[in-house]
Amino acid sequence: MTIRISPSILAANFASLGTELESISNADMVHVDVMDGHFVPNISMGPVVVEDVIRTSPVPVDAHLMVADPDTWAPQFAEMGSASVTFHAEAAKAPIRTAREVRKLGARAGIAISPMTPVEPLLDVLPEIDMILVMTVEPGFGGQSFLDVTLEKIRRARRAINNAGVDVWIQVDGGIAEPTIERAAEAGADMFVAGSSVFGHDNAAERVDTLRDLAGRHFCHDV
């Protein structure tokens, strides 16, 4: 099992974003949160900024769309070159059709669920997606504390993926640091979004390696 770390630029210094991106060149992907002020109350960045990140990032872009109309926007972010595009189950009107369109455009398709959203509907359509993003905080704001109540949801997703024999990643996003990454890995997550726990340190690359090592040592495939 491959453990992947995707630092979130929401915690980066946007005044020197190019330098910040270079500082995580050992990461597996870079996580870009797109918020529209409708699906979540916060507003972050739009297509123009994401295109700049795609063009300059030393690692592939992992786009997380917290927007009210992902059926329209998700294919556009795939078309502009995002390696992975994740949209929220709560916002999509035609999630399978949207996931298929994202895949057709060459990106991995992920579906995200908020802490109170059940994971079971996604477990019935695993062959149609490449990743389940289990939000471990409420979407929309950085700096929140990890919600341990989401761990059982991760375990159920891991068991279903193992039983189906499909290559679907489980990503967690929110409050990922030490020791929360250990608990999420023990539950079966294999891709981790980390914001301030990476960019909030002097040596971001070292933090990426540390978190990857911690997750790898605690990852449990059979939960």
Tell me which residues are annotated as active site.
33, 173
What is the pairing mode between strands 4-7 and 191-194?
parallel
Report the amino acid identity of residue 97: R
Are 71 and 93 in contact by the 8 Å Cβ rule? The answer is yes
